[in-house]
Structure 1
Amino acid sequence: MWGAAASGIGSAAASAVGTAAGDETYQFAKEIINNLSCKVDNEADYDLEYNYGRLIKQAKELYACRDDILAQAKTKLVTQVYEAWISRVMKCEEEVQELETKYKKEKSNKRTWSQFFRGLSESRTNLSQSMAEECKTLHNLWVEGKSDIGIVVEKLPERVIIMHGPKSEDKIFLDSTVEEILGHLRDKNVKRIGLWGMSGIGKTTIMQSLNNNEDTAKMFDIVIWVTVSKDWNLEKLQHKIADRLKLNMEGITDPNEIAQLICRDLKSKRCLLLLDEVREVLDLPLIGMCESEKDSKVVVATRNYHVCCDMETDSEINVKRLSEADAWKMFKVKVGRNVNLPGIEPIAKLVVSECAGLPLLIDKVASMFRRKDNFHLWSDGLRSLRRWPSIKIQGINELIECLKFCYEDLDDEVKKVCFLYGAIYPEDYEIYIDYLLECWRAEGFIHDTSEFRVARDKGHSILEELISVSLLEKSAKMNHVRMNKVIRNMALKISRSCNFKILVKPREGLQEAPNEVEWQQANRISLMDNKLCTLPEMPDCNELSTLLLQRNQDLIVIPESFFGCMQNLRVLDLHGTGITSLPSSISCLKCLKALYLHSCSCLMELRYLEGLEHLEVLDIRDTSLNHFPIQIGRLNQLKCLRMSLTNFGIRHSSNVEYCRNVFSSLLLLEELLIDVHPNNQSWEVTIKAISEGVAKLTHLTSLSICFPTVDCLKSFISTSQLWKDFRFTFQFSVGYHDMTPYKILDCFKYQIRKCLKFANGEGVDPIISDVLLETDAFELIGHKGTSRLSDFGIESINKMRGCLIEGCNEIEMIVDGNRVERSVLICLEKMFINNVPNLKSIWEGPVHNGSLSQLTTLTLCKCLKLKKIFSGGMIKQLSRLERLKVEDCPEIEEIIAASENNDLKPDALPELKMLELSDLPRVKSIWTSDSLEWPSLKKIKIFRCQMLTKLPFNNENAIYLRCIEADQTWWSALACQDDATEQRLRSLWFQSP
């Protein structure tokens, strides 16, 4: 309105001027115009200032809204609506800046009379109107942004966050473990997997490789990695998982609510949770890891085996040290070209041996030697490495601190001293478990029980704890443990700083004993496996509690007064030395608890034992003693006796009555082992007398003895009260035969407590069937008069876990299913059939459900008439069979006969991992087609099977097969159904030497 009025007045004024009126009229008009113009100008200024203020305010509000949404967009998934909105806001920002520029320019203009009459004040009004319109646009965008509808949506977490993965040279040595874990992840029955092993063994590298693996990403919707720090707590762990899942936990502090939030989010996801460096048991449901509808899984990496068990893992994988060959390969790759310098390789191999097969240590040491470019530097480096950890070597001492944590974390002093005791043996020395536990007890580490069996059980508990925290490790040799070089170095370092004073010089080629000061300062001395030929006359070592001198074969004479100042000696090991007798000072050892003299092949007499009033363990096997040691009867504290009768009874049969009385007088005896030469019948009278004495013992818990005849066994069984109560474990050998050792025992990873060997017998004696009722493992050698194992009675053979049948010419089958109406061999885990020439089949007739359901190993060798392995229905029961070996069976044409298994399902033999076929001249097929899945098969060995020219594999089954070992001739004759299968099988072929 005011703009129009001003325009009209302006026209009137111009007209007035144009008519050249008088001055009075002109002045009057001018005054009116000035008053009106001022009024109009003030009104325009007011509108402009008002709209400018609104513009700036609403622009700031919109920009703040935009910045908030941009912040959200960093963690969320943006939409096209969001992108369009941001684009419009950016355009508005440009328009606001343009309006601001115009405003500032307008404010700087000075108005004149002429400008007023030209109508230029209209610009302010137009600018003000533009600002008002822009304000509307800004407000609408702000409202749209604040509504947050369709602008940003929750951004899904990444499926996998790639970790800093293992180097290629490390990865190749860990692939087999990664593949094993992947196999468990594919198994619907496996929910939790435990990965355990000592520090530096490569657990984190394995976990990283698993995290980054393409197969892992395909199996799961999300993979969550959490390193459980030393100072972890429930809240920290939950927040790490929640952050990875991008959960909004604003205002939520209660761990239970957080757990429910995590659980709800994972309910519909296939999640793999990787927990690294777990030091103690985690309650997964408390964290939020509940049972998922989508098959979520957890992998736990820890130093402690018990963590896996307590977290109820379905499978535990022990990460072992690298083999010598793999350690060498890894070291060469990491060191690089300098390892190829002249004269370096022999030193380099010694360097690798110092690393004890630990990938982390190999990595550290290789980086140290990588800079050494001549022989002298390598030699000096090796000397320094051998002195570690007594000297500091950069980059390595952190490992010893990690290992020391495992020691310090042991919850009592007994476990710590038991661990340190292991350092008195050489590095990687195979320590027999029973022997080690006996030494622990003799030393007083296990002192709160008088019963040997109870002490042994407690010792096993301590041993398992040390193994579970990786301070000791199980050996490949049955019932043995060992301490690796690095752990042993740590133990030696710890022993120097505490009161566990040890002098350890095993396997150092010593020809002279240590000096007097060294004897005096130590309380445990190990000089085993040296070349000592002399010992000091009477070393001053009253604090000495253990002395190990075993296998010093040149040590023939021990000075008469040698033991005079060893009143506190508790363990003395002289086995395998060249001594012919014991010195008189042996009687001074009033505290001696364990004496080992076995394999002293020159020891002909045993005297001066009367002073050993506290002796509990005596081992005199395989000596040259040719008469029964009468002094044994005076050792009334004896709890464990191991002896041989190889030479007894040949010239001194008059001692028979004394033998009977000696054993009946050893009232506290708990463990007795008596060896004989199986084919030497001269011990028959002696053993009968001994068995009569042994039958009267009331504390016996373990008995290993040979009975020359079934009647002798029957006599013992009928008179032994302990047998009637089934209160002891046993190894009974009945009959004369060639080999004393029980072959079957070495085939089990756990200890078999009750074993019977029946050699060169005839028929089925009821007493044998009675003993079989209590037997875990049975060896039937050279038997006559029966054609079936089942003739011994189904009830009798149903408890056995292992069975070896060898040299039994009349055995035609193992079980006749036509004669039984129930499950048979329901506990059998391992069966070995060797040199049974008339065996025609393992099973005849119907196979009742549950029969052979626990069988894991089946070996058939030299069964000349055997034509079929799996009879009709038998293979369906073998759900746990892992290893099948068939050797030198010339009549077999099919491993799985089609005529006996015409309805075989694809998932047959689901656990079979190893198949070994050799010297099978007629075998034409493993299975007639490629219809079986072979879901667990990993390795096949084929030797001298010239007619086997086709394998039952295609490009899709046997997905875990990793090796086909065979010679070049056989491989050249192999026919494959297509090129893809041939290419795959060729990649798996390993040429046998």
Structure 2
Amino acid sequence: MAEIVSGLASPIVQLGEWLWIPVKRGLSYMIHYKKNIQSLKLQVGKLEAMKNGYQEIVRAVQTNGKDVKPEIQIWLQDANKAIADATQLNNEAEEAAKNCITGNLRWRYSLGKKVMKKKVALNKLQEEGKFESISVPVMRPIEIESTMSTNGFQAFAATRQAMDQVMKALKDDKVTVIGVYGMGGVGKTTMVKNVGVQACKDGLFDHVIMAVFTQNPNLMKIQGQLSDMLGLKLQEETELGRACRLRNRIQRAKRTLIILDDIWNTLLDLISIGIPNHTELQGCNSKVLLTTRRLNVCHAMESHVKIPLNVLSEGDSWNLFVKKAGRSFESAAFNNIARKVARECAGLPIALIAVARALGDKDIDEWKEAARQLEMSRPANLEDEGDVLRCIKLSYDYLKGEDAKSCFLLCSLFPEDGKIPIQDLFNYWFGNGLFRDGKTLEEARARAHSVIKYLKASSLLLDGERKEYVRMHDVIRDMAISIAYSEQGHEFLVKAGWELEDWPNDVDEGCSAISLKSNCICKLPEELVCPRLRILVIDDNLKLKKISEAFFRSLNALRVLDLSSTCISSLPSSLNLLTNLQTLHLDSCWSLKDISVLRELTKLEILSLKDSRFEELPKEIGNLASLRLLDFAGNTMIQRVPSNVISRLSRLEELYMQGSFGNFGSRIEGAGEETNVGFNELTCLSYLSNLTVQIHSAECIPENVGFHPNWEKFYILIKSQTIPLHKVEYYDFSTSYGSRILALDTTINNLPSWFNSAVTERAKKIVYKECRGLINIIEEYAIERLHELMSLHVESCHQMRSLMNYTATNLVPNKLVFKNLEELCVSNMNELKELCVGDLPDGSLGNLTLLEVKKCHAFANALLQSNLLEKLESLEVLIVDGMKSLEYVFQSDGLKPEQTVMGKCREMKLEDLPALRNIWNGPAQHATFHNLKILTVAWCMKLKNIFTADMSRCLSQLEELWLSECDCLETIIGPSEGTLNSKIILPQLNYLSLQCLPRFKSFYSGASTDVECPSMEHLYVHYCPEYLISTSDFNSRKEVQVNADQQVLFGPRKIKASYSMTRETPTLIDDGYAWKNCGQDEIPGSDHPRIYYRCIHKFNNDCQATKEVQKFRDDPPMYETTYFGIHTCRARPNYI
């Protein structure tokens, strides 16, 4: 029995054990739930560490251009999936704990089972991940901070401006190559290094690499610099092989910023280095940032954005200078000397640092000597002189061609900090023998302008205040003078602007150029012995009244002479000995009456007599057979230009006489039958290409001429009275419109047919001013078909009632009119009521980009009716000013339902329109201002809002909004008829100016939460007493900056706007209105009372405007003025 029981018990026990195993396992899922979760987290951590390690190895393999084994890629994919699944389980457990369901045994069992399975899978992956075939050493990329040290970097205003532009370009997906150019030593390298560090910190790039170029770059060395920073080991022996590896590595790496510093060579091929092309860079989210001294290098490198790095401002220069000098300048005298030295460094950081460090521990006498030598254009004997001038000298040495070098050196003839007239430069250059390979002066001038652009791009010349001028920094000029003084063949003596009273004693016989411009010299040597002298410039010496007869006797080599702005009354006879003279300037020599001595200068090619005072152009001028340019513009005293003088100048190419003689063909008083030059004499000059002239009457133009001229550039003014040169308008040959200009006070049909053929039909700009008989501009177009006309001005033609009346012309039906016109300006037309009557053919005015209408007070309804509005498909700028009766700018009634207009308008200025009720009249769906960037509205007294809510939806590009002096303006965006308030979004609005808007209450008539201006950054508010300001109303992503002189609290709390001004007494606080003091109160906690004012028109006009003035600071005095109420007295201030 026992054996039987024993036999039965054994299998039962085995069965029990077999059944217990899953039960035990299930109980373990529930009992050891928390322990298993913690174990899983540990396994995930181990596997993640393994995965990260292998990813580093994979990156290293790919870095060196090798392929990764497929099983490794599969294992990494499996590991990523397993880690994600395990993380999800952990998240489920944490969520259950939060919801208090972990006590649910069924739930514990289910999750515990999943956890155990995942632990097994993780263990298996760890075992499978023990790869032995990968033994590639990891070359880690060099950290950017270790190579791009920016210690001591100080972002000045100029640097910040350039950096902001670079950072913006780095964020632009369409840009892959960015060029930064600037003068040597201005801080380009330091700036781009800082950009690299900042871009990496901002997460724009994963890698920032940099290579420095030289004049003769070694490509293999550059490739080595870039590869080292990428952690790439280049083993190829050829440049091509290394370039392929580097290019492949950059593409695989993704998000790489490649900085190429100090590029000189325009022929450099980035692909030959190993830089991917534009498409490849976009594909791997990488960019190239290069620096150079030349703009043309940026062009050659196909930079999408070209950013100049300018010199420092005077304030920033001084701060840097003091910091690097490491001392304080205790006395006023020492401080003044130090500032003078700092100014001589012209804002160049490298010059400022070098000079400051060299002089830092010197006494005041040595500072004075350095200042004197810098001012005298001779570098002081500084210990580190090379650091100051080496980069500038290098830029000069690298200039291509002797012409560019000679041109650069001749720029140093002009005074320090002076503007350099480009025309004078050209005359000097050409006279000195430059640009002689062209056939005409115009070709030579084009070459000269190319050199100027080249010098600007090389950062050796700078733009002037106006386009007719260039500038040269003092330090650059010092370098040029130093080179010209020392180099063989140049030997310049330049003392321009030194305030010299006597002729300098250090004039050497070997000088090739002498410049004593802008001094006070009153006496010249009896004879100047400089047999090699080619250029003598002594203009702007107003005390110089006489030149000795023998002065020019030994200057036979002289080619350029400038005696302008002197008080000489006669020219010495020795001037005739200058048989090689090519260029002569006698501008503004008001005491000079007789120039007949010039008759012997048979090689003279350029003669400039601008703004002179002689009464007659002497007959002897006709002997100058080689003369190619004659300029006597602005000579209002001239009465006689004898016939057969100008016509004998058979080689003349350019004649400038605007603002001068204009009485062509008239009889010379006291000379019998002798007459002045006839206009037909100008037409027979076969080489004449450039002509500027004033003609007193159309009757001076002959009916017929024997030779039809081919003037390429002209400015011809037909007007009865002589106009001084500085008041001559419209003349600018450097613009597209300015190359061919006709200004007249008569109609075209009063001009001879040959003149219309040679001038009128070819004019690019026509100005009708005070034109008698002008009724309809379309009739003028019908007469001569002004196909080339690009700019049309109509002024003070008071007989016109409509500018273009298409219904009253003889034009061929459907013939386009003004199809090439780009600019139309209409002003001071007292009777003008309409711009266009009738429907112009489709395509007419299709290229008009600028429309300006001013002071045409007869306009009563809308300026742009639908018949004209639909033609202005290219209009970009609209200016409307001084229209007293105008009620609307746009009238859209008459447009087809699907038509839209003003889609290209980017700027609109509406000023002094006191009757304007609305900007737009008619259905709003026609208005598409989606390119409008700048809007200015001022002195529009009846205007209550600028846009309706419907119109505001097309303002996606609006960046600046300027509103002022609109007494009834309440909101910028008002409600649309028949619609509920909706959300207003102006995504690009950055600047908002609100000035003198007494009834202005809100940006939008709806709720403030319905307005979004995410780019709003600048807000200016001045006298808007009803405006409750809160910067939060704009819902901007940026911090809104408010004008500094406005004492306003911003944020959730809203208060009425006030503003403060610094004045000595409260009575001097002048805001343009008249106020009366009506008492004051003592203010607790303040030493000064609050003074109350009311408008003086309170009683006679019931004006309710008041203000309070509170002094809150003594030194300097500062008053806070708070305005209340609205001026109803109409005593508006006159703001400029």
Counterpart in the other structure of 1:862: 882
Distance 1:605 1:379 in 2: 47
CA deviation string 1:298-334 (max 9, x = no partner)? 3321101111111222332222223334434544565
CA displacement at 1:527 relative to structure 2: 0.9
Counterpart in the other structure of 2:555: 566
Counterpart in the other structure of 2:686: 698
CA displacement at 1:608 relative to structure 2: 0.7
Alignment pair present for 1:298 and 2:288:
yes
Distance 1:771 1:704 in 2: 23
CA displacement at 1:528 relative to structure 2: 1.0
CA displacement at 1:577 relative to structure 2: 1.2
Counterpart in the other structure of 1:786: 800
8 Å CA contact 1:891–1:922 kept in 2: the answer is no
Between 1:810-819 and 1:192-201, the stretch displaced more is 810-819
Q: What SS class does the counterpart of residue 705 from structure 1 fall into?
A: strand
CA displacement at 1:525 relative to structure 2: 0.9
Q: What SS class does the counterpart of residue 132 from structure 2 fall into?
A: helix
Counterpart in the other structure of 1:278: 263
Alignment pair present for 1:350 and 2:340:
yes
CA deviation string 1:274-304 (max 9, x = no partner)? 3221112332344332212355433321101
Q: What SS class does the counterpart of residue 598 from structure 1 fall into?
A: coil
Highest Rg: 1 or 2?
A: 1
Superposition pairs for residues 59-78 of structure 1, below 5 Å? none
Return closer, same or farther for 1:301/1:256 CA change in 2, 3 Å cut-off: same
Return closer, same or farther for 1:554/1:739 CA change in 2, 3 Å cut-off: closer
Alignment pair present for 1:760 and 2:774:
no
Q: What SS class does the counterpart of residue 800 from structure 2 fall into?
A: coil
8 Å CA contact 2:958–2:986 kept in 1: the answer is no
CA displacement at 1:429 relative to structure 2: 2.2
CA displacement at 1:195 relative to structure 2: 1.6
Distance 1:816 1:234 in 2: 69
Distance 1:620 1:918 in 2: 48
Distance 2:665 2:689 in 1: 24
Alignment pair present for 1:590 and 2:579:
yes
CA displacement at 1:262 relative to structure 2: 2.3
Alignment pair present for 1:629 and 2:649:
no
Structure with the higher fraction of residues in helix conformation: 1
Distance 1:487 1:561 in 2: 37
8 Å CA contact 2:209–2:229 kept in 1: the answer is yes
8 Å CA contact 1:170–1:330 kept in 2: the answer is no
CA displacement at 1:474 relative to structure 2: 2.1
The amino acid of 1:309's aligned partner reads H
Distance 1:823 1:161 in 2: 64
Q: What SS class does the counterpart of residue 167 from structure 2 fall into?
A: helix
Counterpart in the other structure of 2:187: 202
Return closer, same or farther for 1:907/1:159 CA change in 2, 3 Å cut-off: farther
Distance 1:747 1:969 in 2: 45
8 Å CA contact 1:268–1:293 kept in 2: the answer is no
Pairwise CA RMSD: 4.6
Alignment pair present for 1:731 and 2:715:
yes
Distance 1:768 1:425 in 2: 51
The amino acid of 2:719's aligned partner reads G
Counterpart in the other structure of 2:1041: 987
User: Match for 1:288 among 270, 275, 280?
Assistant: 275
Between 1:623-632 and 1:845-854, the stretch displaced more is 845-854
CA deviation string 1:126-179 (max 9, x = no partner)? xxxxxxxxxxxxxx9999462339x99997997998832374643444112222
Return closer, same or farther for 1:343/1:494 CA change in 2, 3 Å cut-off: closer
CA displacement at 1:530 relative to structure 2: 0.8
Distance 1:273 1:988 in 2: 38
Q: What SS class does the counterpart of residue 155 from structure 2 fall into?
A: helix
Between 1:896-905 and 1:664-673, the stretch displaced more is 896-905
Between 1:588-597 and 1:388-397, the stretch displaced more is 388-397
CA displacement at 1:526 relative to structure 2: 0.8
CA displacement at 1:890 relative to structure 2: 3.3
Superposition pairs for residues 850-889 of structure 1, below 5 Å? 851=872, 853=874, 855=876, 858-868=878-888, 877=902, 879=904, 881=906, 884-889=908-913
User: Match for 1:146 among 113, 126, 132?
Assistant: 132
Distance 1:185 1:767 in 2: 50
Q: What SS class does the counterpart of residue 615 from structure 1 fall into?
A: coil
8 Å CA contact 1:272–1:298 kept in 2: the answer is yes
Return closer, same or farther for 1:392/1:907 CA change in 2, 3 Å cut-off: same
8 Å CA contact 1:519–1:539 kept in 2: the answer is no
Return closer, same or farther for 1:567/1:75 CA change in 2, 3 Å cut-off: same
Higher relative contact order (CA 8 A, sep 6+): 1
8 Å CA contact 1:191–1:297 kept in 2: the answer is yes
CA deviation string 1:622-660 (max 9, x = no partner)? 22111233222221211111114754675x5xx6xx33x
Counterpart in the other structure of 2:113: none
Distance 2:410 2:287 in 1: 40
Return closer, same or farther for 1:974/1:142 CA change in 2, 3 Å cut-off: closer
User: Match for 2:830 among 809, 818, 821?
Assistant: 809
Alignment pair present for 1:978 and 2:1054:
no
User: Match for 1:640 among 619, 624, 629?
Assistant: 629
8 Å CA contact 1:815–1:842 kept in 2: the answer is no
Counterpart in the other structure of 1:821: 842
Distance 1:731 1:456 in 2: 18
CA deviation string 1:811-868 (max 9, x = no partner)? 456667943411525264x55554444467663326789946474x555443434455
Distance 2:219 2:344 in 1: 40
Distance 1:958 1:565 in 2: 74
Alignment pair present for 1:477 and 2:460:
no
Counterpart in the other structure of 2:167: 182
Return closer, same or farther for 1:438/1:399 CA change in 2, 3 Å cut-off: same
8 Å CA contact 1:735–1:760 kept in 2: the answer is no
8 Å CA contact 1:698–1:721 kept in 2: the answer is no
Q: What SS class does the counterpart of residue 733 from structure 1 fall into?
A: strand
Counterpart in the other structure of 2:650: 667
Q: What SS class does the counterpart of residue 170 from structure 1 fall into?
A: coil
Superposition pairs for residues 144-293 of structure 1, below 5 Å? 144=130, 146-148=132-134, 163-165=148-150, 167=152, 169-213=154-198, 217-247=202-232, 249=234, 253=238, 255=240, 258-259=243-244, 262-263=247-248, 265-266=250-251, 269-281=254-266, 282-286=268-272, 287-290=274-277, 291=279, 292-293=282-283
8 Å CA contact 1:892–1:920 kept in 2: the answer is no
Q: How many aligned residue pairs are there?
A: 849
Alignment pair present for 1:461 and 2:447:
no
Distance 1:739 1:860 in 2: 30
Superposition pairs for residues 495-534 of structure 1, below 5 Å? 495-498=484-487, 499-515=489-505, 518=507, 520-534=509-523
User: Match for 1:615 among 604, 610, 614?
Assistant: 604
CA displacement at 1:605 relative to structure 2: 2.4
8 Å CA contact 1:338–1:370 kept in 2: the answer is no
Between 1:842-851 and 1:535-544, the stretch displaced more is 842-851
The amino acid of 2:865's aligned partner reads E
The amino acid of 1:699's aligned partner reads Y
Distance 1:760 1:459 in 2: 39
Distance 2:685 2:356 in 1: 60
Query: TM-score with structure 2 length normalisation?
Result: 0.66
Q: What SS class does the counterpart of residue 518 from structure 1 fall into?
A: coil
CA deviation string 1:99-148 (max 9, x = no partner)? xxxxxxxxxxxxxxxxxxxxxxxxxxxxxxxxxxxxxxxxx999946233
Unmatched tracts of structure 2, length 5 or more: 1-52, 64-71, 77-125, 669-674, 744-766, 934-955, 975-981, 1047-1060, 1062-1136
Distance 1:627 1:248 in 2: 81
Distance 2:983 2:502 in 1: 68
Counterpart in the other structure of 1:27: none
The amino acid of 2:213's aligned partner reads V
CA displacement at 1:265 relative to structure 2: 4.9
Return closer, same or farther for 1:638/1:328 CA change in 2, 3 Å cut-off: same
Q: What SS class does the counterpart of residue 283 from structure 2 fall into?
A: coil
Unmatched tracts of structure 1, length 5 or more: 1-67, 83-139
CA displacement at 1:614 relative to structure 2: 1.0
Between 1:495-504 and 1:867-876, the stretch displaced more is 867-876
8 Å CA contact 2:1012–2:1034 kept in 1: the answer is no
Distance 1:896 1:367 in 2: 64
CA displacement at 1:696 relative to structure 2: 1.9
State the identity %: 24
Return closer, same or farther for 1:941/1:975 CA change in 2, 3 Å cut-off: closer
Alignment pair present for 1:969 and 2:969:
no
Return closer, same or farther for 1:891/1:552 CA change in 2, 3 Å cut-off: farther
